[in-house]
Amino acid sequence: MSSVDKNLSVFSTEALPDISQSTFAIVVAEWNEQVTEKLYEGAYQTLLAHGAAPERVLRGNVPGSFELTLGAQWFAERSDVDAVIALGAVIQGETKHNDYINHAVAQGLTHLGLKYGKPVIFGVLTPNTLEQALDRAGGKHGNKGDEAAMTAIKMLGLKNQVRV
Ligand SMILES: Nc1c(NC[C@H](O)[C@H](O)[C@H](O)CO)[nH]c(=O)[nH]c1=O
Ligand SMILES: CC(=O)[C@@H](O)COP(=O)(O)O
């Protein structure tokens, strides 16, 4: 299902966990900052709207999406960080560079979540055009940052439910 058919900012909010004592780290790629700053704002506001404390939402910037994995690791390895959200926008260019970045980051972030046993969320847009990116960063298809934040919240709820 495409974001065209499912708005990124529309999700169920039933049975969400108490996140008032949870610490979140948001890692933001500086490439395409006109997009990623919107993703960050969406993620940050979604966390606060559902109970996160402002002082418990950390932020780190990385040059580009390829660096999101290492930036996320530096937060994920901290015992005081409960979840990491990685935000980026990799817009297709003339070459296959975007494919290599996208696959590397998707695999890298997946590995981190498994390694540290905590949510490491893939909040990276991989559009063909800037317009498609903006449509998914607070535009007509919602905000991927909202979705990423809510995903982190729900995964913490699942962790509380299943982990003894
Ligand atoms: N073209 C985009 C990039 N490219 C930069 C890479 O992410 C990386 O910083 C560089 O290859 C050095 O390691 N990054 C994005 O986030 N978005 C792009 O569209
Ligand atoms: C995703 C990228 O790094 C991309 O913007 C680079 O553009 P190009 O493929 O034209 O070199």
Residue 151, marked binder: no
Average pLDDT of 111-127? 98
Q: Phi and psi of 150, rounded to 5°? A: -65, -35
Rounded distance from Cα 86 to ligand 1 centre (Å): 14
Residues with Cβ within 8 Å of residue 111, at least 6 apart in sequence: 69
**Over the stretch 70-105, which tens digit does the pLDDT of each residue have?**
999 999 999 999 999 999 999 999 999 999 999 999
| 20-162: CATH architecture | 3-Layer(aba) Sandwich (3.40)
Q: Is the pTM of this model over 0.95?
A: yes
pLDDT band at 13 (very low <50, low <70, confident <90, very high): confident
Rounded distance from Cα 48 to ligand 2 centre (Å): 34
Q: Which residues pair with 121 in a beta bridge?
A: 85
Residue 31, marked binder: yes
**Domain regions of the chain by residue span:** 20-162
Average pLDDT of 127-144? 98
Between CA 106 and CA 139 the distance in angstroms is 24
Ligand 1 cavity residues, CB under 6 Å: 29, 31-32, 63-67, 88-91, 101
- The ipTM of this complex is 0.97
| CB of 104 shorter than 6 A to ligand 2 | no
Atom 6 of ligand 2 has which residue's CA nearest to it?
A: 93
* Percent of the chain residues past pLDDT 90, beyond the cut: 91
Q: Phi and psi of 78, rounded to 5°? A: -80, 130
> Can you say whether the dihedral through the CA atoms of 158, 66, 143, 20 is positive or negative?
positive
Atom 2 of ligand 2 has which residue's CA nearest to it?
A: 98
Average pLDDT of 130-156? 98
Mean of per-residue pLDDT scores for the chain: 97
